[in-house]
Structure 1
């Protein structure tokens, strides 16, 4: 099935639209004189140009515009300002360009060379790097709206997307807020008030205390009345912040203190509520779209149960758990709640679902959700397009019975994080090598970075939302495995090893998941799996090929090296002897553990992605570091493996060498991640004991 290129503009991870609409106006201005921003835009196209020819292969089999296509005759905004950065700003800009809408980007001083700045038609600096001096500065954004002549503002997600004051001020200024009205934002933005409204709309709610918990004593008393365990969480919260589970009175006191501090620092609102904690629930949400004419539909569910620290890691649509009756009931309750608050945009109603498929209202997000692409994949509906239509005042053109559910989609959030520390602590640095796997069919990469981009301490460390689609869940999962193996990220640590491991883990494969999945499957934290025999012979073959490529030749053409190699492959915990003989080309025969294994390597080992075959099985591996002494770092099936390959003779000599003593770090206290020291509880000369608080670092 073939569709014309423009329909797929934003689905390609290679920012295809920049080449087709980057824009023509900018290129025309180049004739009149060079400016720094236009230079950067042109350089950006040239740098990524070689990838564009491969974009057709990465497109989904089904156009996202098929279900409710864009109508060019429909009145629409001429210019939209995107009040955000990174991936979501790029996402909104691409749909705007497809619809013929000019776009305005805003940026902090450290984001001046970011991708969203280059993709927009205009860009304005609004302040310094800290969010409260730029992306959260309402007055600065309103000033740019006025200067640019933008008719509407799309807030994306995060930052000011759920700020009722921002929405209200835009309305007062005669500018359209591409999102719900400020009253709906206010009603659903407060967890306490939203729960009261949900009860009134006959939406299933978690048992708990509907008022504000004011003191530690109140918290303990309410928790005892509800019955442990309970969830203590911020009323104005989101993103997993200001949430603590308490299993007894002591944990309730501590949870109240920590949640209050987090809520105050993150949201400027320290009000808390307490409700029953549901053990091992699934987190399933319903996407709704409502217009200004009383029409409302739900676009089926997304399952977001794979989480760390109450933040989503992997999402999928539909859920493996819901039956048609439960799906319908959840969707109807989501629509009922949206109608009750006069909702008029795209939004998401989140539920917790227990093992008996009983579901309970959690919260409503009054914005475009991070994981919206998977809904677009299974319904064929562009949610940004719908938000713009609704904001312009157009009615929905689709009835509930017309909403399709086709195939399966998975989304993996690729973060600049160290997955081996608490399932992911942020990593900062520059992407000195970056290649998205968008050449793979049915893969979508929603990102806001490119090679050379900086991952800083100031913003969320998300690199990309990697999305796959298939007719079945298994097809989408296998495509995801392939895409994760082919994703090249150098310069920062990333969580691809964790994502890759989850995709092949038996509980995930069977759909047996819940919000406690990660600590259940990895009770001692995430760690790489031991290298397989296939990896061992692969490492040995790479070493031998490197050595052969480095050999000098005698005058008569004979090589200095023998055709039979005996080597030792050493990882952190294992040392395995391997014997290899070179056949023709990049083909080797290896003997390991009494078995004969054939290995086929590409002749060029310098490529960022290596397609290899071991015993007939094809693998995509990465070799970011290696030297001719046999020290190498592999990315193999989601594992990062440091390996040393030596000849048997060299290994025997090494075994006789004295080991270098390890540095004593027992008295060194280091922060696990970049952050801000909020308080210091000790002073120089104090004696400290085990588990005593030394300082508090916020990140």
Structure 2
């Protein structure tokens, strides 16, 4: 067995590999860029080596720098994780030439199956059903339009070396095909150093289902069930689960056997994933691609099979044989995975960067697993994918796994930047999701205007009102114990307060009760039992016997409460103070409607307008790049450009002025 391996990656996957290697008694080497010098994977590893500046093209994509790090530290093998160099044939060949083992398939398999164009050609030759499309290299935008017309709209424009939703655009007409080709090409070049794209027919109302395979050097290939990955936004997976609520055992077997057959055609050795698009009404499946690496969503397969895929990748690379057969693969229960991203779901999911001033993931146990690459005080930078963590839950049934996930999301405490937990809470509460009626169009159909507060799970406001009142009572009790009795502070039951919540005043009476308090709201008593202590960010309680976890932040005279995705502010006043507070004026925010503001921190890639130019509603004004994704900003109304406040190439802060419009 290897004595030392290097992880050519960062973030949660680097931490994940380090944990598995440590379990196997293998020492680890982390590589890092300037932006990651204090990152979690660097601190976890036995050794670390600096490989370059923050941009990935100058660090994590530098093959020579990683080989030099192996030679410097004596690492015998490299685990590539996913993304970066994980599917680069040149990387595997360079490692092999240097006498270093690549923990993954050989160069032939990477080229044949890792390249989306070549893999589809191979699949067609092997008689595998594939999506209709044009698989040769497209030279320019006009050729892309011509091809799209021949295939028939809608079409999908995809980067050949792409992944994670980057370099991918959906086009419904000529203009979108032309613009999509340019954006997909630019993203592909920036993210993968490969600007080739291809076009294929977009299958409407599809499900995205993938098969996990494992293959060793002795001709043994098995499939480990499927993963349902249909919940996607911008073609990037958001929620994954295993197994799929859609597949029958017969369909699972057919897809699994086809996936294994494809792997055998290229003598595949390692963990790999064969992805399919499945027609929701017909059940017909089409080969999409094979990912010759570990997938982001691999934990759900591990949870239902009990297998450690990273460990098996290492063992196979070490020349070991699979210790089980296909008949011995058993699927136990159900697993869900949610990707926790640094983004603002209330602002069309714009990326958020900054420091994690507070970070407390839910407690891991039998039902909950957290794969993360950050710690409190860590930074989410503009240079890399904005994923904070992967939250995985397991239960005997799909409903149980969903319930565990909803509770774990309530317990995930993140401060310092925006995150998508409210969106995830909404997703997991959707009746359509709960019954398994999902396609890759789910988010577009259920959230046509993005996330709005009315799409958060419906909750009884009495719960949060009662919790706020109970917290206030506990704080005063603590202060009395510390400082003694002061006039007016005597805790004579009941305490009468008014809670300002959700723009309404609610009179409450708070009585002490066994294990907590009885809060009377509109003549209805709500029982709150909790052992919450002042200063804890989470209040775990039972409200009328139901378990509830509420996140709490104190802001002087108010409590900011977060529960089931809802964020609300509660003021607990004496009745007299509430009367006076009603008279307080509220200052309106300034009118910024005549400016185009940067919706995120990022790079101003292009300006499409100049001062004095007339523009129409919907016309493209500027392109801002953040997290390696290009975002086109458009005019909301017909107007005239009065002044440009920024230039192409400028680094922008969130809400920084870019363009000023005429009044």
Q: Which residue does 2:298 correspond to in 1?
A: 372
* Residues 373 and 272 (structure 1), Cα distance of their counterparts in 2 relative to 1, 3 Å cut: same
Does 1:542 find its partner at 2:471?
yes
Does 1:583 find its partner at 2:495?
no
Q: CA RMSD in A?
A: 2.3
1:164, distance to aligned residue in structure 2 (A): 1.1
* Residues 219 and 186 (structure 1), Cα distance of their counterparts in 2 relative to 1, 3 Å cut: same
1:490, distance to aligned residue in structure 2 (A): 2.3
Contact 2:469-2:510 within 8 A present in 1 as well: no
Q: 2:254 aligns with which of 329, 332, 348?
A: 329
Contact 1:84-1:135 within 8 A present in 2 as well: yes
Summarize the alignment of residues 288-687 of structure 1 with structure 2, pairs less than 5 Å apart: 288-355=213-280, 356-422=282-348, 424-528=349-453, 529=456, 532-533=460-461, 534-547=463-476, 549-550=478-479, 554=485, 559=490, 563-571=494-502, 574-584=503-513, 587-593=516-522, 595-602=524-531, 604-627=533-556, 629=557, 631-684=558-611, 686=613
* Residues 333 and 616 (structure 1), Cα distance of their counterparts in 2 relative to 1, 3 Å cut: same
Contact 1:553-1:560 within 8 A present in 2 as well: no
Distance 1:616 1:186 in 2: 58
Distance 1:429 1:256 in 2: 31
Distance 2:371 2:353 in 1: 20
Contact 1:214-1:272 within 8 A present in 2 as well: no
* Residues 609 and 658 (structure 1), Cα distance of their counterparts in 2 relative to 1, 3 Å cut: closer
1:556, distance to aligned residue in structure 2 (A): 9.1
1:237, distance to aligned residue in structure 2 (A): 1.7
1:184, distance to aligned residue in structure 2 (A): 1.4
Give deviations 1:210-243, integer Å, cap 9, x for gaps.
3333344433333333332222222222211222
Summarize the alignment of residues 95-134 of structure 1 with structure 2, pairs less than 5 Å apart: 95-134=20-59
Contact 2:559-2:569 within 8 A present in 1 as well: yes
Equivalent pairs counted in the alignment come to 619
Distance 1:238 1:465 in 2: 17
Distance 1:598 1:506 in 2: 29
Distance 2:215 2:162 in 1: 24
Contact 2:208-2:276 within 8 A present in 1 as well: yes
Q: Secondary structure at the match of 1:640?
A: strand
Q: Secondary structure at the match of 2:347?
A: coil
1:294, distance to aligned residue in structure 2 (A): 2.4
Q: Secondary structure at the match of 2:204?
A: coil
Summarize the alignment of residues 32-181 of structure 1 with structure 2, pairs less than 5 Å apart: 76-181=1-106
Q: Which residue does 1:6 correspond to in 2?
A: none
Contact 1:540-1:578 within 8 A present in 2 as well: no
Distance 1:556 1:444 in 2: 50
Moved more, 535-544 or 268-277: 535-544
1:398, distance to aligned residue in structure 2 (A): 2.2
Give deviations 1:104-151, integer Å, cap 9, x for gaps.
111123322222222222211112222122111111111111111111
Q: Which residue does 1:262 correspond to in 2?
A: 187
* Residues 403 and 246 (structure 1), Cα distance of their counterparts in 2 relative to 1, 3 Å cut: same
Contact 1:578-1:590 within 8 A present in 2 as well: no
Contact 2:241-2:300 within 8 A present in 1 as well: yes
Distance 2:489 2:382 in 1: 55
Distance 1:654 1:258 in 2: 52
| Higher normalized contact order (CA 8 Å, seq sep 6+, divided by chain length) | 1
1:586, distance to aligned residue in structure 2 (A): 6.5
Distance 2:189 2:336 in 1: 34
1:348, distance to aligned residue in structure 2 (A): 0.6
1:171, distance to aligned residue in structure 2 (A): 0.6
Distance 1:555 1:459 in 2: 55
1:684, distance to aligned residue in structure 2 (A): 4.7
Moved more, 639-648 or 583-592: 583-592
Distance 2:533 2:597 in 1: 41
Contact 2:87-2:110 within 8 A present in 1 as well: yes
Instruction: Give the TM-score, by structure 2 length.
Output: 0.88
Distance 2:249 2:450 in 1: 36
Contact 2:103-2:313 within 8 A present in 1 as well: yes
Instruction: Give the TM-score, by structure 1 length.
Output: 0.84
Q: Secondary structure at the match of 2:162?
A: coil
Distance 2:188 2:33 in 1: 25
Distance 1:299 1:364 in 2: 15
Contact 2:84-2:192 within 8 A present in 1 as well: no
Q: Which residue does 1:39 correspond to in 2?
A: none
* Residues 122 and 202 (structure 1), Cα distance of their counterparts in 2 relative to 1, 3 Å cut: same
Query: Structure 1: which 5+ runs fail to align?
Result: 1-75
1:525, distance to aligned residue in structure 2 (A): 1.3
Q: Secondary structure at the match of 2:161?
A: coil
Contact 1:567-1:648 within 8 A present in 2 as well: yes
Distance 1:295 1:469 in 2: 29
Contact 1:677-1:697 within 8 A present in 2 as well: yes
1:154, distance to aligned residue in structure 2 (A): 0.8
Contact 2:137-2:196 within 8 A present in 1 as well: yes
1:550, distance to aligned residue in structure 2 (A): 4.7
1:469, distance to aligned residue in structure 2 (A): 1.5
Distance 1:658 1:620 in 2: 34
Q: Secondary structure at the match of 1:598?
A: strand
Distance 2:251 2:413 in 1: 40
Contact 2:342-2:417 within 8 A present in 1 as well: yes
Q: Which residue does 1:40 correspond to in 2?
A: none
Q: Which residue does 1:232 correspond to in 2?
A: 157
Moved more, 484-493 or 505-514: 484-493
Q: Secondary structure at the match of 1:237?
A: strand
Give deviations 1:303-351, integer Å, cap 9, x for gaps.
1111111111111111111001111111111111111222211111111
